[in-house]
């Protein structure tokens, strides 16, 4: 029979309650220098040690995942290896090779995977005792839906660490907005790390002085206001500085233009705009998923605006396999007739982005009604090439894409905007839809 022993480890005080007692989910979020990655790396090894030395021993895998991982150098491998080797009794239990970590008794082994490319293989892995997902901010909703049921051993756990970027990310919504009942969640920043190093303190002060727009996100764990690689950051910053993001009232004497991005299996986004002289007033924004066209027509009716024109992407003409009807025909049956529909031309995305940039300097946003739409424009960014460590010349398809695409259709599809800025759009007195 194995003899039980006690050993102490040092953790940032705010993390101690996270690891006490039973929990399915243990989550820590916050800025740089908090010590969360190092602490979670160490605790995976301790948890594995406890499982491997239980009576009888619990055998299985510790999965360490990130959304993007092309090699071990992109993983938490070195963090875990260093943590193990820093504590003699852990070092004596684990065999840390150049490309593997496993216990000498064969009870515990580590697996390192990138979720974006390896979800299907993860689903087939057996006996996952613990899944630690680091840098989890960018993990998609689909990845969470597929991953979590794969961690199904009795007493298994899911650990999550990340630096927040968006209140609309799948990770934020799952673990902070509506956390599971059996979750322990904590915010952790550099102030909470008793061992915050001097070299990082110098970097922090430099960021505070030279990069004030990014400081709160990097060091305080706040949501990112201006994303790196964002297409419209300069234009949206100007809008903020010029007080064009605030309160914008609906003008009943001017008709409303609605621009759609129609999702198939994902979100549909709607921008509500009024064109007043040379100004574009964005009075409202709506987004939802998993609903048919009937739902969005009902939303239009409920808002009570007077509509003059609807702008749709070109694929509205595509016929659906089930009904044989195009969505344009379906809309006609629902009361949105072809004479009020404008179909956005098929332009190159870059050309459309340039059109948006030209229009944004004329835009006024209602901050309350358009909150998520504004965030979409702020966070619409280029796709990141993790191999080349550079931004690709194409957009990243994420939660911000739908709102940004709908806005692009507004910029390129509303014909009076492209032809004549001198007059407001004439009100349609016939009705709401």
Domain that holds residue 336: 233-419
Residues 191 and 250 in one domain: no
Please tell me whether residues 27 and 105 are part of one structural domain.
yes
| 128-133 vs 108-114, strand pairing mode | unpaired
- pLDDT of res. 227: 65
1 within a domain of the structure (yes/no): no
Instruction: Note the pLDDT of residue 203.
Output: 94
In the predicted model, is pLDDT for residue 417 greater than 60? no
CA-to-CA distance for 275 and 269, rounded, in angstroms? 19
Residues 63 and 175 in one domain: yes
CA separation for the pair 306, 178 (Å, rounded): 36
Last residue within a domain, chosen from 198, 222, 251? 198
Handedness of CA 301, 302, 306, 312 (dihedral sign): negative
For the chain, give the mean pLDDT. Answer: 86
C-alpha–C-alpha distance, residues 175 and 26, integer Å: 10
The answer to whether residue 358 sits within a structural domain is yes
The CATH number linked to 181 is 3.40.50.300
Instruction: Tell me, yes or no, whether 59 and 157 share the same domain.
Output: yes
Residue 149 in any domain: the answer is yes
25 in any annotated domain: yes
Q: How confident is the model at residue 319 (pLDDT cuts 50, 70, 90)?
A: low
**Of 124, 74, 76, 81, which is closest to residue 102 (Cα–Cα)?**
81
The mean per-residue pLDDT over the stretch 186-191 comes to 96
323 is written with which tokens? 């009904």
Is residue 222 in a domain?
A: no
Q: For residue 239, what are the CA distances in angstroms to 99, 274, 359, 361, 369?
A: 50, 17, 11, 7, 16
Q: What is the mean pLDDT of residues 120-128?
A: 78
Q: Does one domain contain both 239 and 183?
A: no
Residue 282 sits in the same domain as residue 184: no
* Same domain, residue pair 69 and 181: yes
Q: How far is CA 252 from its chain centroid? A: 36
Are 143 and 244 found together in one domain?
Answer: no
- Identify whether 126 is part of a domain: yes
Q: 252 and 174: one domain?
A: no
What pLDDT sits at residue 2? Answer: 45
pTM to 2 decimal places: 0.69
Write the pLDDT tens digit of every residue in 143-182.
Answer: 898 899 999 999 999 999 999 988 888 899 999 999 999 9
Total tally of structural domains belonging to the chain: 2
Does a structural domain hold residue 424? no
How far apart (Å, rounded) are the C-alpha atoms in residues 207 and 55?
A: 50
What tokens were used for 236? 């949206």
Q: Is residue 3 part of a domain?
A: no
The residue out of 198, 217, 245 marking a domain boundary is 198
Question: Same domain, yes or no, for 186 and 240?
Answer: no
Taken in order 407, 409, 415, 420, the sign of the CA dihedral is: positive
Within this chain, do residues 194 and 238 fall inside the same structural domain, yes or no? no
Measured CA to CA, the distance from residue 52 to residue 241 in angstroms comes to 58
Q: Is the pLDDT of residue 68 over 60?
A: yes
The CATH number of the domain holding residue 391 is: 3.30.420.280
In our burial notation (b when 16+ CB lie closer than 10 A, e otherwise), range 239-271 reads bbeeebbeebebeeebbbbbbbbbbeeebbbbb
Q: How confident is the model at residue 272 (pLDDT cuts 50, 70, 90)?
A: very high
**398 and 262 belong to one structural domain:** yes
pLDDT confidence band for 361 (50 / 70 / 90):
very high
- Domain final residue, candidates 198, 224, 258: 198
């Amino acid at each position: 029979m194995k003899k039980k022993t006690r050993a102490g480890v040092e953790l940032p005080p705010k993390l101690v309650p996270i690891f006490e007692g039973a929990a399915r989910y243990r989550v820590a979020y916050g800025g740089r220098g908090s010590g969360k990655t190092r602490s979670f790396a160490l605790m995976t090894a301790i948890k594995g040690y406890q499982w491997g030395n239980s009576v009888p021993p619990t055998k299985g895998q510790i999965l360490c995942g990130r959304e993007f991982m092309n090699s071990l150098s992109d993983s938490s491998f070195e963090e875990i290896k260093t943590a193990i080797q820093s504590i003699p009794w852990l070092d004596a239990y684990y065999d840390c090779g150049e490309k593997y970590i496993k216990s000498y008794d064969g009870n515990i082994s580590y697996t390192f995977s990138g979720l974006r490319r390896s979800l299907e293989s993860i689903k087939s892995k057996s006996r996952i005792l613990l899944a630690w997902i680091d840098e989890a901010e960018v993990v998609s909703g689909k990845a969470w839906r597929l991953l979590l049921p794969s961690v199904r051993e009795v007493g298994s756990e899911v650990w999550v660490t990340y630096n927040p970027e968006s209140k609309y990310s799948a990770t934020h919504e799952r673990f902070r907005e509506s956390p599971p009942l059996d979750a322990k969640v904590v915010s952790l920043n550099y102030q909470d790390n008793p061992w915050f190093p001097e070299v990082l303190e110098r970097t922090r002060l430099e960021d505070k002085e030279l990069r004030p727009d990014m400081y709160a996100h990097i060091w305080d764990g706040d949501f990112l206001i201006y994303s790196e690689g964002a297409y419209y950051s300069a234009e949206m910053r100007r809008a903020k500085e010029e007080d064009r993001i605030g309160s914008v009232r609906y003008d009943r004497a001017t008709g409303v233009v609605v621009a759609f991005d129609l999702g198939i299996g994902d979100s549909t986004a709607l921008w509500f705009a009024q064109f007043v002289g040379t100004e574009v007033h964005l009075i409202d924004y709506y987004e939802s998923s998993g609903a048919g066209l009937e739902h969005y027509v009902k939303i239009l009716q409920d808002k009570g605006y007077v509509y003059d024109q609807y702008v749709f992407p070109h694929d509205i003409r595509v016929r659906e396999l089930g009904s044989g009807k195009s969505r344009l025909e379906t809309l006609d049956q629902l009361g949105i007739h072809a004479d009020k529909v404008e179909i956005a031309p098929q332009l190159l995305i870059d050309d459309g982005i340039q059109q948006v940039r030209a229009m944004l300097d004329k835009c006024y946003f209602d901050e309350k009604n358009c909150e998520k739409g504004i965030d979409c424009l702020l966070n619409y960014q280029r796709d990141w090439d993790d191999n080349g460590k550079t931004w690709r010349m194409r957009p990243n398809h994420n939660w911000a894409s739908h709102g940004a695409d709908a806005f692009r259709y507004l910029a390129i599809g509303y014909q009076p905007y492209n032809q004549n800025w001198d007059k407001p759009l004439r009100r349609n007195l016939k009705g709401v839809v």
